[in-house]
């Protein structure tokens, strides 16, 4: 399996090509003869960066959405517009939930910026998955990730609308990661891992047994931003040696 970063918050110095950076994430996963785009960043930058790397949206076999935040989904519209074909889009059923970020008395919409019907008209073939599912050989979509740790409580500034219409904390129920059962163990590929990194890793280890050890983490791992969470992860997975190679990319080895 090969993973290429398409969209990240920063572009490395010295690439020699005019890559675009933006707050968000998009990864191209090449595996078993398939090209899977996991998240799309927030704009058309994903199409531009794919092109600079020699890829065309029409080559993609499927899109996978990690969760319904704009910085992971805004590029779906542009990818479909350029692909000009039907593409399966795998996601949790709740990705289109209305969601907001609050700061003081300000409330900002941070959900998917395009209507489901608009994306469907452009070629999105929705495959809604809420349980662990092998989407291509050896690559699993987590489905809903159980929240079992008491310390991975999520971001209190993220809110959604409850069924009674009132505002409530958004636990990002649709947060979905990918699990790759590789020869060296489990690789977890996360969008934001709002479900909590420990919950996510445990979910992967559960669904991928007997490959009961972790080989790597790729993507954004908000749960690791705080030092206390980092320590908790080390305690929760004591067999792992943890090292942070970049602020948002984590490599874990035995
Ligand atoms: Zn998010």
Q: Nearest CA to 173 among 187, 158, 183?
A: 158
3-state SS assignment for residue 2: strand
User: Going by C-beta distance under 8 Å and a sequence separation of 6 or more, which residues neighbour residue 93?
Assistant: 128, 130, 174
Alpha carbon of 122 to ligand 1 centroid (Å): 24
User: Going by C-beta distance under 8 Å and a sequence separation of 6 or more, which residues neighbour residue 5?
Assistant: 26, 27
Alpha carbon of 193 to ligand 1 centroid (Å): 8
In degrees to the nearest 10, what's the CA dihedral of 78, 82, 84, 88? Answer: -50
Q: Are 69 and 222 within 8 A, CB to CB?
A: no
Name the DSSP letter for residue 145: P
Q: Please, what are the domains in the chain?
A: 2-253 (3.60.15.10)
Alpha carbon of 16 to ligand 1 centroid (Å): 30
198-226 pLDDT, tens digit per residue, is 888 888 888 876 555 666 677 766 554 55
Model confidence, pTM: 0.88
B/e letters for 28-58, b = 16+ CB within 10 Å, e = fewer, are bbebeeebbbbbbbbbbbbbbbbeeeebebe
Alpha carbon of 163 to ligand 1 centroid (Å): 21
146-176 pLDDT, tens digit per residue, is 998 888 888 889 999 877 778 889 999 999 9
Alpha carbon of 218 to ligand 1 centroid (Å): 15
Alpha carbon of 69 to ligand 1 centroid (Å): 5
Residue 245 pLDDT: 33
For the ranges 77-86, 172-181, 217-226, the lowest mean pLDDT is seen at 217-226
Alpha carbon of 111 to ligand 1 centroid (Å): 9
For the ranges 11-20, 89-98, 105-114, the lowest mean pLDDT is seen at 11-20
Alpha carbon of 86 to ligand 1 centroid (Å): 26
Alpha carbon of 67 to ligand 1 centroid (Å): 7
Question: Can you tell me the distance from the alpha carbon of 98 to that of 143, in angstroms, rounded to the nearest whole number?
Answer: 20
Q: Cα–Cα distances in Å, from 204 out to 103, 131, 161, 218?
A: 34, 12, 29, 13
Question: Can you tell me the distance from the alpha carbon of 50 to that of 63, in angstroms, rounded to the nearest whole number?
Answer: 14
Alpha carbon of 230 to ligand 1 centroid (Å): 19
Alpha carbon of 81 to ligand 1 centroid (Å): 24
């Amino acid at each position: 399996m090969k993973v290429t970063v398409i969209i990240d918050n920063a572009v490395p110095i010295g690439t020699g090509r005019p890559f675009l950076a933006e707050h968000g994430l998009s990864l191209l996963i090449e595996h078993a003869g398939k090209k899977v785009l996991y998240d799309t960043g927030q704009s058309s930058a994903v199409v531009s960066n794919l092109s600079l790397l020699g890829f065309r949206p029409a080559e993609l076999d499927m899109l996978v959405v990690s969760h319904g935040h704009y910085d992971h989904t805004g590029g779906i519209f542009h990818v479909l517009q350029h692909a000009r074909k039907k593409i399966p889009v795998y996601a949790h059923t709740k990705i289109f939930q209305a969601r907001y970020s609050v700061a003081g008395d300000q409330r900002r919409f941070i959900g998917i910026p395009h209507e489901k019907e608009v994306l469907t008209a452009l070629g999105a073939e929705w495959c809604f998955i809420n349980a662990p599912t092998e989407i291509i050989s050896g690559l699993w979509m987590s489905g809903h990730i159980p929240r079992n740790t008491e310390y991975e409580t999520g971001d209190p500034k993220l809110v959604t609308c409850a069924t009674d219409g009132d505002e409530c904390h958004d636990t990002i129920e649709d947060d979905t990661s990918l699990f790759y059962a590789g020869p060296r163990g489990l690789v977890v590929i996360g969008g934001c891992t709002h479900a909590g990194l420990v919950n996510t890793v445990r979910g992967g280890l559960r669904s991928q047994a007997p490959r009961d050890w972790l080989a790597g983490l790729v993507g954004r791992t908000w749960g690791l931003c705080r030092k206390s969470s980092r320590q908790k992860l080390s305690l929760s997975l004591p067999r792992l040696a943890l090292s942070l190679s970049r602020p948002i990319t984590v490599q874990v080895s035995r």
